[in-house]
Amino acid sequence: MPRTVIIGGGAAGIGAAGGVKAVDKNNEVIVYTEFEDVAYSPCGIPYVHGKEIDDFQSLFLAEKEAYVRAGIDIRYETRVNGIDIHDKVVHVEREGTVRWDRLVLATGFDYADPDVPGSDLDGLYYVKNIRRAMEWDKILDTVKHAVVVHATPLGVEMVTALAHRGIETHLIDPNPWALADVADPDIMAPVEESWREMGATLHFNTDLKAFLGEGRIRAVQTSEGELPADVAVIATHKVPNNALAAEAGLELGSTGGVVVDQTMATSTPGVYAAGDVAELPHGVSGIGLQGLTGSHAYAQGKVAGTNAGGGTKNYQPVYIPWATPAGKWIIGGASFGETTATALGIPHVVGQAQGISRARYFPGVKPVKVKLIAEPKSLKLIGAQMVGGEGIKERADFLATAIKFGLTMRDLASMENVYSPAIGALNEPIVLAATNGVETHGTG
Amino acid sequence: MPRTVIIGGGAAGIGAAGGVKAVDKNNEVIVYTEFEDVAYSPCGIPYVHGKEIDDFQSLFLAEKEAYVRAGIDIRYETRVNGIDIHDKVVHVEREGTVRWDRLVLATGFDYADPDVPGSDLDGLYYVKNIRRAMEWDKILDTVKHAVVVHATPLGVEMVTALAHRGIETHLIDPNPWALADVADPDIMAPVEESWREMGATLHFNTDLKAFLGEGRIRAVQTSEGELPADVAVIATHKVPNNALAAEAGLELGSTGGVVVDQTMATSTPGVYAAGDVAELPHGVSGIGLQGLTGSHAYAQGKVAGTNAGGGTKNYQPVYIPWATPAGKWIIGGASFGETTATALGIPHVVGQAQGISRARYFPGVKPVKVKLIAEPKSLKLIGAQMVGGEGIKERADFLATAIKFGLTMRDLASMENVYSPAIGALNEPIVLAATNGVETHGTG
């Protein structure tokens, strides 16, 4: 019986386990995880902290028994200490040497080490594991001052959550605006304004210098001064958990992620990687990307597992639809924005418009700003950014697909749209933005 | 100075007027309308009746002065009695003979005559004009029993509105389910259930026989018995208001709509038609369609006006994204559903799934059912139907575009989607439906 060993029990690891079993029920599948649980949604944690979701219990997806029934052998709280590519074994804590025919690396990410004095103090919260989150949630009841370190996607969610919870929250980030690696400043401006309305204080162009305190944090030292802190949420950028891969000699990419082909196979025969530890090419720029979403991790895991199990499935270049609540708004987009296109030196033009989500007279109508990024002349879409009140996630899915299939601003300017007062305006904001792009940059 | 005469002041006529002026400010534009107003949203009327919008005033879009400033000469409450193609004049009530260089027919629709005894009684409400709607809204305050005649799109909105308002509402329709020309029975089943929960009574497979009463309606006679009625809402199907066109000898299509080419030009040089009076080919089947939405009418008017004004603009075949609240649900789709595909004899396969709108644990999560209709083997999309709680309008826009650009179920099965607990589930319902289609009907 061929055996697939999977290292990691997150979305990628569980996706891989299911992928193997879908191809061949008789394939033996062992999943190693350092944690107590596998089947829960870590993405929900900020919303429980923000009191938008009642309790952590609802984040659990399946009983452990369900995996037993599916023939997936999960070894909880069990660390894998090394991979031997030559002998096709892993070295497992307590178990010793375990052989594999196929190996899937799904070791995920860690937050980048803040690498400043005081990083060993109590009171630094790395949002990741649900059991730790449950403990931290009790601590948050006693917290008056919180500092969120860096306006990454998690940082954005945590500022929103802590402010919503009523904690006096400060955000520090070295960039001039929030989510600067992903979003344009004009998209983030209304979000930042809404955070201020919610009572949060934002410190941009501000470097982290140290965590201050005796045993426990009492303040955060920044380039612009000291901020009182009962807790510091460390939302630094995600780095791939690549120690095992590096030690085993797998090829790593420019992000530190494991290089994979479209079957999620690594440079080593029989070894696959998926999720936050893997590096994937961006569909437009070809640049290596790492640390995408749980949805990407799960899909990658499924592809890796299918191929590991003897089936055939390809993962395609990513165009990255994304969206998230931020302050009182929803932001989102696909591929990249104007700032990133400029930074990458990709020639581009922009079409943009401020539209609305319903008929202007219908209760609950919300603004929807759409920015489309396109190649000059052909006006072929290469990116999109949005900020608005509703329908952002569905538009982001659409625009990522439009980019993938080569649609142009002209195509979107002439697209039909639903008009129904309670749910859609006469003019779809995407159409308005595309029309603006064609009128401004179309050559006829 | 070239003169464009536009007959009709609805979305198509106003779109056409703007289209002409956008090409050439010096082009003279005269719009004739039988009504007191032009710039309002008739689509909002059911929602005022349903008390979801506070008042009719908010439905007005622009002051009459705005059109004067734009150089558009609107002649209110002025009927055009005839068109002379040969001499290029229209015969206008009170004004006599008025010459034109270009003519745009935007005469809209009427509800099909119920053509049963009692059609001349008071108490039959044809929902169309805002001034009449204001009067009817006062009458509705005194109404105990209402009968809605036919489960057309307007009928669906009016049953929902009247039931929401607390009126005892009966719906009669000759078909076995609501919106049978557009939607599949499984899409409408939850809607019908929710109408019953709202207190409405549904009579399908039921023919209208007569309106009963002396001077004023007191009941509706149906094939299944008599229903008490203080008002009957006549939501029969839309027929093109084609009398002027027919008399002038313009070519009419199978729906009775005026045949137009992609520039919205009719069979007669210099004469254009747009909106509910025009007939357009369906993008998939090529079958003539008429009576689409206000959004279509406005876009068609703009194309007609642009070309009438000396510019160049093409209108493209329609794929008809549609969506509307219905009972406690939102329904929608693009192109056609399973029932229509079967009726048209178009070979097809179906992929479907019951998904959700947010993470399963996030407050406000709603079901989203997606059905995709595709060509056998190629699995190229030809239609879609949905019922759910949110995001239906945006998905309908997306799916209509996907059909237009030839995407397949395979393309949608491997599409990326946003996963963010508050706004999107791990698995996008469209992806689930496409995956089901590929697994059921894909050949490998």
Q: Residue B63: its pLDDT value, please?
A: 83
User: To the nearest whole angstrom, how far is the Cα of A97 from the nearest Cα of chain B?
Assistant: 35
Q: What is residue B352's predicted lDDT score, i.e. its pLDDT?
A: 98
What average pLDDT does range A129-135 have in this prediction? 96
B320 contacts in A (CB within 8 Å)? 416
Cβ atoms of residues A114 and A236 within 8 Å = yes
Asked if A52 is an interface residue toward chain B (Cβ–Cβ < 8 A), one would say yes
B41 to chain A, closest Cα gap in Å = 9
Cβ neighbours of B423 (radius 10 Å): 25
CA separation (Å) from B140 to A363, A424, B145, B167, B173?
22, 27, 10, 8, 22
Contacts 24+ apart (CB under 8 A), A430-434: A430/A355, A430/A370, A430/A372, A430/A395, A430/A398, A430/A399, A430/B397, A432/A353, A432/A354, A432/A355, A432/A370, A433/A351, A433/A352, A433/A353, A433/A355, A433/A370, A433/A371, A433/A372, A434/A351, A434/A372, A434/A409, A434/A410
Partner B contacted by A410 (CB < 8 A): no
pLDDT confidence of residue B266: 97
Tell me the domain boundaries of chain A: 3-38+76-110+238-308, 124-234, 322-441
CATH class as words, domain A322-441:
alpha beta
- Which pLDDT score, from 0 to 100, does residue B245 have? 97
- Other CB atoms closer than 10 Å to residue A269's CB: what's the count? 9
Q: Give me the amino acid identity at A429.
A: P
CA–CA dist B238, B245 (Å, integer):
17
Please name the residue of chain A whose CA is at the shortest distance from the CA of residue B395: A394
Alpha-carbon dihedral angle through residues A337, A341, A343, A346, given to the nearest 10 degrees: 180
Question: Residue A429's closest chain B neighbor by CA?
Answer: B394
Considering the domain B3-38+76-109+238-308, what is its CATH architecture? 3-Layer(bba) Sandwich (3.50)
Pick from B53, B394, B416: CB nearest A320: B416
Residue B293 to residue A419, Cβ atoms within 8 A: yes
- Whole-angstrom distance between the N-terminal and C-terminal Cα of chain A? 64
Predicted confidence at residue A319, as pLDDT, reads 95
Question: Can you give the pLDDT at residue A1?
Answer: 82
Give the residue on A whose Cα is nearest the Cα of B362. A53
Does A361 sit within 8 Å of B41, measured CB to CB? yes
In chain A, what percentage of residues exceed pLDDT 90? 94
Locus of tokens 């990133």: A340
Say yes or no: domain A3-38+76-110+238-308 is CATH 3.40.50.10860: no
Q: Is B439 on the interface with A (CB under 8 A)?
A: no
Quickly tell me which residue has 């603009």 as its tokens.
B313
| Nearest chain A residue (CA) to B422 | A325
Comparing C-alpha atoms, which of B203, B207, B200, B209 is closest to residue B178? B203
The yes-or-no answer to whether A3-38+76-110+238-308 and A322-441 have a common fold is yes
Alpha-carbon distance of B280 to B303, in angstroms, equals: 13
User: Would you say A431 and B401 are in contact if contact means Cβ atoms under 8 Å apart?
Assistant: no
Judge whether A53 is closer than 8 Å to chain B, CB to CB: yes
| Alpha carbon B406 to chain centroid, angstroms | 25
Single out the residue of A322, A232, A223, A248 nearest to residue A282, CA to CA.
A322
Please indicate if any CB of chain A lies within 8 Å of the CB of B22: no
* CA geometry: angle A397, A400, A405, nearest 5 deg: 125
Question: Tell me, what's the pLDDT at A58?
Answer: 92
Q: Are B3 and B48 in contact (CB under 8 A)?
A: no
Contact B321 A52 (CB under 8 A): no
Q: Give the pLDDT of residue B69.
A: 94
Given the structure tokens 């799934």, which residue do they identify?
Answer: B353
Say whether residue A40 is in contact with chain B using an 8 A CB cutoff.
Answer: no
Q: Do A418 and B293 touch (CB under 8 A)?
A: yes
Contacts of A295 in chain B (CB under 8 A): 416-419, 426-427
Grade residue A399 by pLDDT with cuts at 50, 70 and 90. Answer: very high
Q: How far is B314 from chain A (nearest CA, A)?
A: 9
The residue whose two tokens read 């000396």 is B310
Q: How confident is the model at residue A295 (pLDDT cuts 50, 70, 90)?
A: confident
Looking at the predicted structure, is the pLDDT value of residue A444 above 70? no
Q: Residue A396: is its pLDDT beyond 60?
A: yes
Evaluate if residue A316 carries a pLDDT over 70. Answer: yes
Q: Does B49 touch chain A (CB under 8 A)?
A: no
CA distance B151 to B148: 8
Please provide the DSSP assignment of A171-209 as one string. EE-SSSSTTTTTS-HHHHHHHHHHHHHTT-EEE-S--EE
Contact B47 A421 (CB under 8 A): yes
**Given CB atoms, is A47 within the 8 Å cutoff of chain B?**
yes
| B444 near A CB under 8 A | no
Structure tokens at A265: 């196979």
How far is B78 from B92, CA to CA, in rounded Å? 7
pLDDT tens digits for A3-60? 999 999 999 999 999 999 999 999 999 999 999 999 889 999 999 999 999 999 999 9
Task: Quote the mean pLDDT of chain A.
Answer: 96
Q: How would you write the pLDDT of chain B (444 residues) with one tens digit per residue?
A: 899 999 999 999 999 999 999 999 999 999 999 999 998 899 999 999 999 999 999 999 878 899 999 999 999 999 999 999 999 999 999 999 999 999 999 999 999 999 999 999 999 999 999 999 999 999 999 999 999 999 999 999 999 999 999 999 999 999 999 999 999 999 999 999 999 999 999 999 999 999 999 999 999 999 999 999 999 999 999 999 999 999 999 999 999 999 999 999 999 999 999 999 999 999 998 899 988 888 899 999 999 999 999 999 999 889 999 999 999 999 999 999 999 999 999 999 999 999 999 999 999 999 999 999 999 999 999 999 999 999 999 999 999 999 999 999 999 999 999 999 999 999 999 999 999 999 999 874
Strands A231-234 and A80-84: unpaired
User: With contacts defined as CB-CB under 8 Å, which chain A residues touch B415?
Assistant: 397, 400-401, 404
In angstroms, the Cα distances linking A46 to A40, A124, A295, A324, B43 are 14, 15, 17, 12, 40
| Residue bearing tokens 């789709």 | B333
Q: What is the pLDDT of residue B326?
A: 97
Predicted pLDDT of residue A4:
98
Using CB atoms, pick whichever of B43, B362, B421 lies closest to residue A419. B43
Q: Which CATH superfamily is domain A124-234 in?
A: FAD/NAD(P)-binding domain (3.50.50.60)
Which chain A residue has the Cα nearest residue B411? A401
Residue to test with chain A: of B418, B426, B432, B439, most A Cβ within 10 A = B418
Number of C-beta neighbours around residue B59 at 10 A: 25
Q: Does A43 touch chain B (CB under 8 A)?
A: yes
Q: What pLDDT, on a 0 to 100 scale, did the predictor assign at position A397?
A: 98
